[in-house]
Amino acid sequence: MAHFLIIGAGIGGLATAHGLLQHGHTVRVIEAAPELREIGAGVVLGANAMLALSKLGLQETVQVHGTAITKIQLRDEQGGALQTVDTTEFTRELGFQNLGIHRAALQRALLAGLPPDTVQLGIPFERFEQTATGVRAHLANGTSLTADALIGADGVRSRVRRQLVPPAKPRYAGYTCWRAVVNAAALKLPVGESAEVWGTGGRRFGYVPVGEGRVYWFACLNCGQVNSPHFSRYQLADLRREFAGFSAPVPELLALASDENVLWNDILDLKPLTQLAFERVLLLGDAGHATTPNMGQGAGMAIEDALVLAETLANETNIPAAFQRFEQRRLPRTTRIVNTSWQLGRLAQLEKPWQIKLRNMGMRLVPDAISLKQMAWLYQPA
């Protein structure tokens, strides 16, 4: 059995720790943040991610903190349906449903099942060195740690990736996003339904139930620059004005939020890499294939990574060879998701009226059953 050092205690890092521990390896997770804070955002775990969690022995632990998503609807800003996908039959075949969950609840569930002292917080990673037999990681507190292998699970701005592939930097998608989780029980929204509203002028709003009457919402606006000084000053009052013409429940969900609970981030991804395995160092999750959130697969891809890595190491004791097999299994799928999500975002954020009219007309012509079939590849097991 081997000793692994994981950089990053996000969803991918924690899920990977579980997978490796279950196969008898020893693990230490290093996280730069001094605490795993409550993050006011939700996440969708597709049926594929729930299947992966099940194989990792984590599905029941996670599922109790979220709510099943059985219908996904795209609408125009007047509330007219563009596409409606009922996933009940499809997910029944897989044995799992899509799940909406608060990101903090997911992270807590993954953390709770790990042995004490597995995760060390408040220790930024700086750099690594590797030899034919192991890896040494140098930390910001002046110490260093050795391991048989190092896994970079430190997100879209990964320091591990920066050392391995210096030119690979986060890519701005051209739109910015505000997010919040609100108590929306009083709105009595349809159970198990998530929706996106594709409006005019590059405006988009979406919402997902995340359990216990709470709803996660996001509001996107096109923006020509990263860290826009204009949008950095935006308050809820500005968002309510931007989306005032949208049909219910958009204004109602915005009305339930407070400024101190709203997060603002530019939307970033990572142009697909051609390599994830570097001898005894591996990139996974957002560090290796960050995607825009348009397909709800970012967290799911990280969880799938954790499962595939555990399975690969169970069948291949040579770590560099196992990492190569992981890369061969994961790169085609993660690349397809990153590219498809990027294109979907461009479609959703159209601004010109004639383009929007053609888009909406075309989407309404596609039968819902065809839309469901087109999504089938997304939910296939890792």
Cα dihedral 318, 319, 321, 325 sign: positive
Length of the chain: 382
- Determine the pLDDT at residue 71: 93
- pLDDT tens for the chain, residues 1 to 382: 999 999 999 999 999 999 999 999 999 999 999 988 767 799 999 999 999 999 999 999 999 999 999 999 999 999 999 999 888 877 777 789 999 999 999 999 999 989 999 999 999 999 999 999 999 999 999 999 999 999 999 999 999 999 999 999 999 999 999 999 999 999 999 999 999 999 999 999 999 999 999 999 999 999 999 999 999 999 999 999 999 999 999 999 999 999 999 999 999 999 999 999 999 999 999 999 999 999 999 999 999 999 999 999 999 999 999 999 999 999 999 999 999 999 999 999 999 999 999 999 999 998 877 777 777 888 887 7
pLDDT value, residue 296: 94
Angle between helices 11-22 and 103-112 (to 10 degrees): 20
Q: What is the pLDDT of residues 315-348, one digit of tens each?
A: 999 999 999 999 999 999 999 999 999 999 999 9
Q: Which residue has the tokens 């050092």?
A: 5
| Dihedral sign, Cα of residue 277, residue 279, residue 283, residue 288 | negative
pTM (2 decimals)?
0.96
Output b/e per residue, 320-331; b: 16+ Cβ within 10 A.
bebbbbbbebbb
The residue extents of the domains of the chain are 3-170+269-379
pLDDT the model gives residue 378? 84
What is the architecture, at CATH level 2, of domain 3-170+269-379? 3-Layer(bba) Sandwich (3.50)
Distance CA 282, CA 287 (A): 10
